[in-house]
Chains A and B, each alone.
Chain A
């Protein structure tokens, strides 16, 4: 059969392998979520509690634990992990830079500062936190973008501007911590990142933003693919590069801000997961974005479960665990790349 005919076969083997891997990841994600709901400091009869919950019987102790403690926590881990991973994937594609991530370019620091400031100024209005975090993330992203735009929008400038903004915002956060006891009280856990404080009502507030953000990101897969070919190629193919970049940065800020508002400054997910997924799933965003969302959720959920059971009944903030696991793993990925495997 001539070469040109073979190509019309619907699926390449690599593509099929990637799809299988994706389905596997999603299955694993469901399993991890189930384990996360089932495991905790109080033993729980999961089927019984579920049945009670289905019947609407909130008198049942198990059902109450499930609804008010376990489920919000699992949902929080899944959503935060997915949001950060998708945000990182967006930023890496938009800035065309494998160094980019919500933590590195200052978006998380912006959200963190705004959250602390909000806690210090309005300690009795926790409902304001996600909004403040989003505004903070957005403000940081816009400042970075404005700086880069006025200097020609090179991707390196964007990252450097992000690092500078990050530094300023961290200093500002520390100032707020020193001046306001209210903000200082919870700030250590906030800076490490974790899910011990999440509530059902709080999750109800941010979940729509995150889900909307993820869906919008999926819809932009084609534009992201073009952006990874470089600014000139993307523009010469007819993409409005400036506008597209701007909108995608807004979207990344929305996702990171929403995640930071309830989970604190969880590190590494936004950087590590996009890298890992590009090596496993390739650079096509139609698959890469859903895969990053699933992997981010899976990783965060697993680590959170581990953080709860490892030193039970004490619990470790998940941020610590993620950094301890994520850091070395990231180094491993870099070393493998050094030895000839190319990821970016």
Chain B
């Protein structure tokens, strides 16, 4: 299990973006990171994914210091979908195959098993029809699916996603949320930074609110709504319809 233990997140030489964060990403749960713009959701995910060294505290993977692990061993356990996704002139399936990099042997050549996993990942994200297309010719949403397939091909226990719903139209956003739940149902730990509160409350099983450089709430969606922290942080009202689904309105309605 991936855990942050009393971590200060941020960039060297600058004041920390987040202070004293302790958070675990348990298997089978979808952890949703919420917070206003600039609250440090991306910074937290990057720190957890080892892209940023913690300024203080420790990132632990299965109770040992993640910073001391060889990078490929860590990458076999933790996958990360960054917000920033370049578009190389590569066929989509070649890109997805890169997800197998941490699993490759000394020759670094993917075998038939790796190719099968990459194809399955493409199918899972609905990107199978794109597999021969060059990534540079894809739309933002299509590119997103291909990158997500790459993260899935990595076949890691923990999958961290930074803003996975950007660029997707609303139908595809729901498909993506369903995919996150399905991954958690497979026993993986899923964590995503999301903007949309109703999405977050639908898909999340562990809601994390970041505000003013601190982790100010971590709990179930029901607790998050009842405590009123979300309404206060975002200046909105959260309602529940008769089928138990959450929806969000402006505060004066």
Which residues on A are within 8 Å of B, measured CB to CB?
A: 3-4, 7-8, 12, 14, 96, 152, 222, 225-226, 228-230, 232-233, 235-240, 278-279, 282-284, 342-344
Contact = CB atoms under 8 A, between A and B. Distances in A.
Nearest to A343: B89
Contacts of A235: 50-51, 71
21 contacts: A8-B112, A96-B86, A226-B101, A229-B85, A229-B88, A230-B82, A232-B51, A232-B80, A235-B71, A237-B98, A237-B99, A238-B76, A240-B71, A278-B89, A282-B91, A282-B134, A283-B89, A283-B90, A284-B90, A342-B137, A344-B136
Interface in B121-140: 123, 128-129, 131-132, 134, 136-137
B115 interface: yes
Given A236-B49, A240-B71, A230 B84 contact: yes
Interface residues of B, number: 46
Query: 9 tightest CB-CB pairs across the interface, nearest first?
Result: A238-B75, A238-B72, A236-B80, A232-B82, A238-B102, A283-B89, A238-B71, A283-B88, A342-B136
B108 interface: yes
Contact of B89 (A226, A229, A282): A282
B78 to A, nearest CB: 8
Contacts of A232: 46, 51, 80, 82, 84
A12 B85 CA distance: 25
B51 A237 contact: no
A229 B128 contact: no
Contacts of A4: 119, 123, 128
Contact of B101 (A12, A230, A239, A282): A239
Nearest to B100: A237
Contact of A238 (B74, B129, B147): B74
B75 A237 contact: yes
A3 B88 contact: no
A8 B131 CA distance: 12
B89 A237 contact: no
Interface of B: 11, 46, 49-51, 70-76, 78-80, 82, 84-91, 93-95, 98-99, 101-102, 108, 112, 115, 119, 123, 128-129, 131-132, 134, 136-137, 147, 150, 154
A8 B112 CA distance: 9
Contacts of B46: 232
B129 A3 contact: yes
Given A226-B101, A230-B82, A236 B89 contact: no
Given A236-B80, A342-B136, A229 B72 contact: no
A233 B82 contact: yes
B103 to A, nearest CB: 9
A20 to B, nearest CB: 17
Nearest to B104: A222
Given A226-B101, A240-B71, 19 more contacts: A4-B128, A12-B132, A96-B86, A222-B101, A225-B98, A226-B98, A229-B95, A232-B46, A232-B80, A232-B84, A233-B82, A235-B50, A236-B50, A236-B75, A236-B78, A237-B102, A238-B76, A238-B102, A282-B134
B85 A230 contact: yes
B111 to A, nearest CB: 12
Contacts of A342: 87, 89, 136-137
A233 B85 contact: yes
Contacts of A230: 82, 84-86
Contacts of A14: 91, 132
Contact of B98 (A8, A96, A229, A279): A229
A131 to B, nearest CB: 33
A232 B45 CA distance: 12
A3 B95 CA distance: 18
Contacts of A225: 90, 98
B119 A7 contact: yes
Contact of B93 (A7, A152, A226, A239): A7
Contacts of B84: 230, 232
Given A226-B101, A232-B46, A232-B82, A237 B90 contact: no
A282 B136 CA distance: 11
B80 to A, nearest CB: 4
Contacts of B82: 230, 232-233, 236
Given A238-B71, A240-B71, A228 B86 contact: yes
A6 B79 CA distance: 28
Contacts of B134: 282
Nearest to A93: B88
A61 B99 CA distance: 60
B128 A3 contact: yes
A239 B72 CA distance: 7
